[in-house]
């Protein structure tokens, strides 16, 4: 299923039964400045592109599109790509005042073009300037006004402030879904609900938004809007980006607590259930810890296998390697 174009009024890939033509689509550039330029150009108010957002070829002039043949697979159509400097400029179904400014009459075409380019460049530069975040105090002063329903802002200290996304509906207990910390040096940490606890979202999964890997540095308001918009979506999307090791860790810790709670309540018996539970916790710990340290029970158990059934032992060992 081809992805739908995000430009207002464009029906590319919306209804394949009506419209049989195949139009190539392009994802937003990963470079933050180029990404913002696209975002700025597309006449859609408060639009925040996601990883899935695409713009179809109809909005690019032909010189932007490099039509190259693809030899990699048996695909019988050309897969074009965009030139590095390309950005969308053609919006036929949008009000004209949202499209590129129209040239002033009675001037030479090249003069007009130059004028439009300059004006455009100027307005983009102004927008870039407004979009820039000027340090931590700028964040703490303006953040309250920037967030929407469902988010709470808390100024914690001179060191950092936090944003919380809370769900509080009568049918279930209130819960904290997402927490975002912004530090004095403008680096950002995100925590998201996973297995009923908040766990740190791996920085690597947000590189598409920040442009650079860890630490994630917040530099513009459009970046901030994208971040909030991304984490305002349903949680399934978000928890997928949580580091898998951290999720195992949270799960293991919960299990461990369950283990010790039952031990405390019931001292006399050493049931098989508890032994199994302990074994399970140990295995999960081994999965996440960098150093493999086995408990005395497991070592003893391994030794027993080695002594009684050496072949089984070596088979088990090789399956773990």
Which spans of this chain sit near Zn ion (rule: CB under 5 A)? 5, 7, 10, 12, 56, 58
CB of 125 to Zn ion, least distance (A): 27
* Residue closer to Zn ion (CB basis): 94 or 248: 94
* Residue closer to Zn ion (CB basis): 54 or 198: 54
CB of 58 to Zn ion, least distance (A): 5
> Distance between CA 175 and CA 49 in Å, rounded?
27
- Name 35's Cβ contacts closer than 8 Å, sequence gap at least 6: 28, 29, 49, 211
**E-strand stretches of 195-280:** 197-200, 216-217
* Residue closer to Zn ion (CB basis): 13 or 223: 13
* Residues 183, 160 contacting (CB under 8 angstroms): yes
CB of 123 to Zn ion, least distance (A): 23
* Residue closer to Zn ion (CB basis): 86 or 227: 86
Both tokens of residue 217? 């540095």
CB of 144 to Zn ion, least distance (A): 36
- Can you spell out the DSSP letters for 72-140? SS---S-EEEE-TT------TTS-GGGSSPPPPSSS-HHHHHHHHHHHHHHHHHHHHHHHB--HHHHHH
- Can you spell out the DSSP letters for 263-274? HHH--S---HHH
Place of tokens 């996973």: 194
CB of 90 to Zn ion, least distance (A): 9
Q: How many helices (H) and strands (E) does the chain have?
A: 10, 10
CB of 95 to Zn ion, least distance (A): 16
* Residue closer to Zn ion (CB basis): 7 or 281: 7
- Name 265's Cβ contacts closer than 8 Å, sequence gap at least 6: none
* Residue closer to Zn ion (CB basis): 19 or 289: 19
């Amino acid at each position: 299923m081809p992805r739908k174009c995000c430009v207002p009024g464009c029906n590319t890939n919306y209804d394949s039964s009506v419209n049989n033509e195949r139009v190539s689509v392009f994802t937003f550039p990963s470079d933050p400045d180029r990404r913002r330029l696209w975002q700025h150009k597309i006449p859609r108010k408060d639009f925040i592109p996601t990883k899935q957002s695409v713009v179809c070829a109809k909005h690019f002039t032909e010189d932007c599109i490099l039509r190259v043949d693809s030899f990699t697979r048996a695909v019988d159509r050309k897969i074009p790509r965009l030139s590095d400097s390309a950005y969308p400029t053609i919006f036929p179904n949008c009000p004209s005042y949202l499209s590129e400014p129209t040239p002033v009459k009675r001037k030479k075409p090249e003069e007009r073009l130059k004028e439009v380019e300059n004006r455009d460049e100027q307005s983009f530069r102004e927008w870039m300037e407004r979009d820039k975040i000027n340090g931590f105090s700028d964040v703490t002063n303006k953040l309250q006004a920037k967030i929407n329903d469902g988010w709470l802002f808390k100024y914690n200290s001179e060191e950092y402030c936090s944003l919380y996304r809370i769900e509080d509906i009568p049918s279930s207990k209130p819960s904290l879904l997402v927490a975002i910390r912004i530090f004095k040096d403008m680096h950002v940490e995100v925590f998201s609900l996973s297995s009923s606890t908040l766990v740190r979202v791996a920085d690597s999964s947000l590189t598409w938004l920040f442009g650079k890997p860890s630490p994630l540095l917040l530099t513009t308001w459009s970046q901030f809007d994208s971040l909030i918009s991304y984490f305002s979506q349903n949680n399934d999307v978000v928890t997928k980006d949580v580091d898998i090791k951290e999720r195992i860790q949270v799960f293991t810790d919960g299990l461990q607590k369950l283990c010790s709670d039952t031990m405390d309540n019931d001292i006399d018996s050493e049931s098989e259930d508890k032994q199994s539970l302990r074994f399970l916790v140990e295995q999960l710990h081994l999965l996440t810890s960098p150093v493999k340290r086995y408990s005395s029970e497991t070592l003893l158990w391994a030794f027993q296998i080695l002594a009684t059934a050496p072949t089984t032992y070596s088979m088990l060992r090789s399956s773990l390697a």
